[in-house]
Amino acid sequence: MPLPLSANAPRPAPIRILGIDPGSQRTGVGIVDVAADGRVAHVHHQPLVLLDAESFPLRLRKLLDGLWALIAQFRPDEVAVEQVFLSNNAMSALKLGQARGAAVAACVARDLPVSEYAAKEIKLALVGSGSADKRQIQHMVGAMLGLSGKLQADAADALAVAITHAHVRASAQRLGVAAREAWGRKGRGRR
């Protein structure tokens, strides 16, 4: 008995998403593949440790070089970055903003589309609560990706950003709208 035509059709390649949790001392990166059916698979994660640079501008250079190396090695299709949260310490917030800007610039310079998500959006997407703590995020990321052992916090956050983007992409495709519009519809009334 011949297979139905749809079974013979080539399956679309997975979409590779690079998630970034920016930091001025350590930037988390996480890479996932998203299959056409929405399944998310772990590809890579690590922290980019920037503290051994001699000055803050050289930390930013190290961040750029590290991201460019990962982009060349893993060839992501899209990037998701966590938005900066407000801090009580103005200098820390400024440095974090500069690191985030460097991360976004590194990706845009490689012609990658960048989506941004607030921490509350990420927590809501992964745990169902915008007030989830770090341990809950680490646990859910590990469970969703089938990873064993405790994840380093920055890398877990980066994977969480990538997973959030995967969920938003899937919602957008189902709704036939842009990803940010899908998030707006998805999160209404639940924050």
Dist. CA 131–CA 1, nearest whole Å = 54
Catalytic residue among 21, 33, 78, 157: 21
To the query of whether residue 52 is one of the catalytic residues in this protein, the response is: no
Distance CA 83, CA 98 (A): 12
Ordered strands of the 78-82 beta sheet? 40-49, 26-34, 15-21, 78-82, 114-117
Ramachandran angles phi, psi of 15, nearest 5°: -90, 130
**Which listed residue (33, 78, 121, 154) is catalytic?**
154
Query: Active site includes 82?
Result: yes
149 CA to centre of own chain: 20
Closest CA to 41 of 133, 163, 189, 124: 163
Active site residue 37: no
Residue 48 tokens, joined: 């980019």
- Catalytic residue, chosen from 78, 82, 121, 157, is 82
State the catalytic residues: 21, 82, 154
